[in-house]
Amino acid sequence: MSTALVTGATAGIGREFCEQLAAKGDDLVLVARDAARLERVAGELRERHGVAVEVLVADLSDRAQLQRVADRLGEADRPVDVLVNNAGYGLATPFAQSEIADEERLLDVLVRAVLVLSHSAARAMTTRGHGRIINVSSVAGYLAGGPYSAAKAYVTTLTESLSGQLRGTGVTATAVCPGYVVTEFHERAGIDHGARSGPLWLDAADLVREALADAERGRAVSVPSAQYKAIATALRHLPRGVVRRATTRSPRGGR
């Protein structure tokens, strides 16, 4: 029996990770800020899949609360076998007009939380000789789209490096780089993307299914869907000047 800890577990991609992991029999540790929503989702998952579900209320921008999650990952008597670093959000305000405190909170969630939790999980998992770390990044990391793109570039690079360092330990690390996904993310960020349909909009269930398969294969980077694989390849090989000119103001390139 495996246990998976998922951050940002109550909605969107995180919720779908919980559904698919529970469907294959994994017990869960759900992490999010909203206690009532966490309990509701936990109850639904227990009833639907018959797995044990633990709730851990935490705001990952708060260092003390983040440390509680890191400590849970490090518990030897209640091991976590799979970490899904999914929590994230975007800012609709252009960088020069935003409040620096908001930008710092964004980086605490998108960057520092991933760093701290990946470190705690890697240390505990390598001691046991098995485990899987999945960090949800974005194709935005290949763009020049402000702090969000910079944060996602960090997550992808960190995960690729970790994947190499973990080779031969029985532990893998995978960065998942989606594009646009049909979730409530853009609405919560105050970003209008119209009808949210068409070939560039991904279904969360398909995305997570492909991401889990890539993680099982030990791939360092997973770019779900043929269309985003092509886009990511192009962005990696285009001259950066072209990418900069093509990048419009966008706080988030995916999810």
Q: State the Cα–Cα distance between residues 146 and 253, nearest whole angstrom.
A: 10
Please report the pLDDT score of residue 255 as a whole number. Answer: 56
- For the chain, domains (ranges, CATH) are 3-248 (3.40.50.720)
The amino acid present at 81, given as its one-letter code, is: D
Tracing tokens 């929590």 back to the chain, one arrives at: 87
CA distances from 224 to 55, 136, 174 (A): 29, 11, 12
Q: Judging by DSSP bridges, how do beta strands 171-176 and 131-136 pair with one another?
A: parallel
CA 78 to chain CA centroid, Å, is 23
Structure tokens at 11: 């909605």
| pLDDT higher than threshold 90 for residue 107 | yes
Q: What global pTM score does this model have?
A: 0.89
Catalytic residue flag (residue 148): yes
CB 50 within 8 A of CB 27: no
pLDDT digits (tens, 9 = 90+) for 50-101: 999 999 999 999 999 999 999 999 999 999 999 999 999 999 899 999 999 9
| pLDDT higher than threshold 50 for residue 124 | yes
CB 144 within 8 A of CB 165: no
Exactly one of 148, 154, 180, 228 is catalytic; which is it?
Answer: 148
